[in-house]
Structure 1
Amino acid sequence: MDPKPAKYAPKSDADILDIVTRHPFAWIVSAAGGFGATQLPVRPYMEDGRLTGLIGHFGRNNPQIEHLRDQPRALLLLTGPHGYISPSWLTDRTQAPTWNYASIAFDCDIRLIEDSAGIEALLRDLIDTMEADRDNAWSLDNMGERAARLAQGVVGFHARIIDVQAAFKMGQDEAAQEYGEILTALDRAGETDLAAAMRRQNPDR
């Protein structure tokens, strides 16, 4: 994977976990049998307070599953807050446009999960997380016996993280005036996620 400049490194492991939990829709990219790519939600797998893996599930008819049986290695790609930065926001209109973003590439070993108990645990974890704090929250138990039939249609996976390449390009290149003007414009436009991410990555500005 292409290493990013050190100035774009996340401030802490918590920044990486934050992307996984708040922006969980990931690309699963594999190379065995020709490139395969599936976009699906993932959840963090924690050990001793550390992010060591990602878990999720494929539809059972997805051909990428067989490729991963043959070669259980994949990249899991996530994108966090991002957006176009317009020179129209700046006093100095000779500045060039750019794009601020947070992105993470996890190099992983993939273990498929096909037992009914393991699949049910994955589904419950994802559903319960997505339904948390909702009024009249839904649960897998609401499906009754249909839940078991649903589980037969998926194959779970545990992606053990081998390496991480993360880039949080959040205004580190900008001079103080331009940085402040960008934040003002983002706040005015309601781009709160991107503005908050910039502030997290530049705590002293």
Structure 2
Amino acid sequence: MSVWSPRNAAEVAALVARHPLAWVVSGAPAFHATPLPLVADLAEDGSVAALVGHFALRNPQVEALKAHPRALVLFQGAHGYISPELVTQPQWAPTWNYAVARFEVEVTFAPEDNGAALDRLIAHMEGDGPDRWTLANMGERYEPMSRHIIAFRAQVLSCDATFKLGQDERPESFAQILAAHPDAALVAAMREANEG
């Protein structure tokens, strides 16, 4: 286990929940890569068991995945350049901090779940407030539009995540980076990864 490994499965699930737009990459018979927002199904231990989303039917990656259902799903969380100007330590070298997760998956298409997949994504993004937007707001536009998408479930076969967020820095350098870095999201991710 590396110093940059997530401490637990919940950290990876939180990355997916906070940054749902992922690249779905497949390589047979040719390379395809599509950015899609995805929602995670969690296992009992809190790990990501599957990812649920939908493709536009016209996307050529749909037919490619029907023939060869293995893919990589790549998530990227907070990231950014860390300049030596932020620290007072002599000879400190610049670096790039980031949180990423790579899932190897097997994709199963489920057109009968189009509505459920959309409902889950919308609920995830809109929250559960009483006035949140729902598919019902589309009215009669929903049914014809739904014919142009196809839902899928991507069963996770393996997960590899790296949270390189300053865990190897000297305490004084880490504190200086947190105090001076302009990216609030990256600073928050660094704080969280180094708690406890």
TM-score (norm. length: structure 1): 0.89
Distance 1:81 1:31 in 2: 27
- Is 1:29 aligned to 2:21, yes or no? no
- Going from structure 1 to structure 2, the CA distance change for 1:68 and 1:182 (only over 3 Å counts) comes to same
- One of 50, 56, 61 as aligned partner of 1:59: 56
- AA of the residue aligned to 1:122: A
Which residue in the other structure is 2:132 paired with?
137
* Aligned residue number for residue 200 of structure 1: 192
Q: Check if 1:39 corresponds to 2:25.
A: no
Inter-partner Cα distance in structure 2 for 1:128 and 1:46: 16
Count of aligned pairs between the two proteins: 195
| Displacement after TM superposition at 1:135 (Å) | 8.7
**Unaligned 5+ residue runs, structure 1?**
none
Identical counterparts, % of pairs: 40
List per-residue Cα deviations over 1:78-124 (Å, max 9, x = no partner).
00111110101111252111011000000001101112xx1100011
- Distance in 2 (CA, whole Å) between partners of 1:6 and 1:49 is 21
Displacement of 1:133 in angstroms is 5.8
- 1:69-80 equivalence runs, <5 A: 69-80=66-77
Q: State which of 11, 18, 25 in structure 1 corresponds to 2:14.
A: 18
Matches within 5 A, 1:111-126: 111-115=108-112, 118-126=113-121
* Post-superposition CA distance 1:39-95 (Å, at most 9, x none): 010001124363210010000100000110111000000001111101011112521
What residue number does 1:182 align with? 177
Aligned mates of 2:119, 2:168 — CA distance in 1: 43
TM score, norm. by length of structure 2: 0.93
Tell me which stretches of 4 or more aligned residues in structure 1 moved more than 2 Å: 46-51, 133-137
